[in-house]
Amino acid sequence: MEVQVMKNILGANEETAESNKKMFDYAHIYVLNLMGSPGAGKTCLLEKTIRHLKDRVRLAVIEGDLFTDKDAARIEKLGAPVVQINTVGGCHLDAAMVEKAADKLNLEELDLIIVENVGNLVCPAEFAVGEDEKAVVISITEGDDKPSKYPLIFKESAVCLLNKVDLLEHCDFNMEGAKKDIAALHPGMDIIEIYCKKEHGVDAWCDWLVKRVEAKKGGAK
């Protein structure tokens, strides 16, 4: 029974995700579903992204958290439109939550929406929310075995951000091995090394993002 119910839930989610996607396509907004463990550095990455892109891209954030609005407050400080979703204990965002959140944004005035999912390397990968692509952030302090231990999120994501690379000397993290594992799971996946706190690699990441945003806009709005 549990399996059938999961199939029904996933099926219903898929339908809403497709309808969200149509809406975002119509508005020419590139939507990224940003995933990663608690503390991988998702919100820090968003802060730096907003600072780097604010004069080039009209960006909004949908913030997923279990309970608090701490992350949304951090984004709001930077002047970007932000909508908070609290899952009240739920371990991932779903398409219906993002549909409601998107209602609160003025889509006419946006080029890019980044959806920061709940901190979790497992469940968010199973639930589309209407995004164009998914991205996964891992911190190198988590260890180099994460790709092989949590394969789905790497298979589902278009890009992997390896964060906190400046702490490499303090961690047993085999960078070459991790990249090989990622390439084996998802051949051709983009991998960007960053140290978000000090903004290393944030340029390369923003270039990656801007290319996507421009392709989606296609000149027309």
Contacts to a copy of itself by CB under 8 A: 1-2, 5, 9, 37-39, 65-68, 70, 89, 91, 118-123, 126, 138-139, 141-143, 145-146, 148-152, 164, 166-167, 170, 172, 197
Q: How far is the CB of 83 from a copy of itself (least distance, A)?
A: 18
Residues with Cβ within 8 Å of 103's Cβ and at least 6 positions away in sequence, in order, are none
Question: Which CB, 76 or 126, lies closer to a copy of itself?
Answer: 126
φ/ψ of 37, rounded to 5, equals -60, 160
Residue 28: exposure state from Cβ atoms within 10 A (0-12, 13-18, ≥19):
middle
Residue 69: exposure state from Cβ atoms within 10 A (0-12, 13-18, ≥19):
middle
Question: Which CB, 81 or 151, lies closer to a copy of itself?
Answer: 151
Question: Which CB, 81 or 143, lies closer to a copy of itself?
Answer: 143
Which token pair is 173? 């993290």
**C-alpha span between 208 and 164 (Å, rounded):** 19
Q: How far is the CB of 181 from a copy of itself (least distance, A)?
A: 11
Tokens 């290393």, residue located: 200
Which token pair is 31? 């939507």
Question: Which CB, 110 or 202, lies closer to a copy of itself?
Answer: 202
**C-alpha span between 109 and 204 (Å, rounded):** 25
Question: Which CB, 39 or 81, lies closer to a copy of itself?
Answer: 39
Question: Which CB, 53 or 125, lies closer to a copy of itself?
Answer: 125
Q: How far is the CB of 185 from a copy of itself (least distance, A)?
A: 11
Residue 60: exposure state from Cβ atoms within 10 A (0-12, 13-18, ≥19):
buried
Question: Which CB, 57 or 162, lies closer to a copy of itself?
Answer: 162
The DSSP bridge partners found for residue 105 are: none
Largest interatomic CA distance in the chain = 51
Q: Which of 153, 101, 133 lies closest to 213, judged by CA?
A: 133
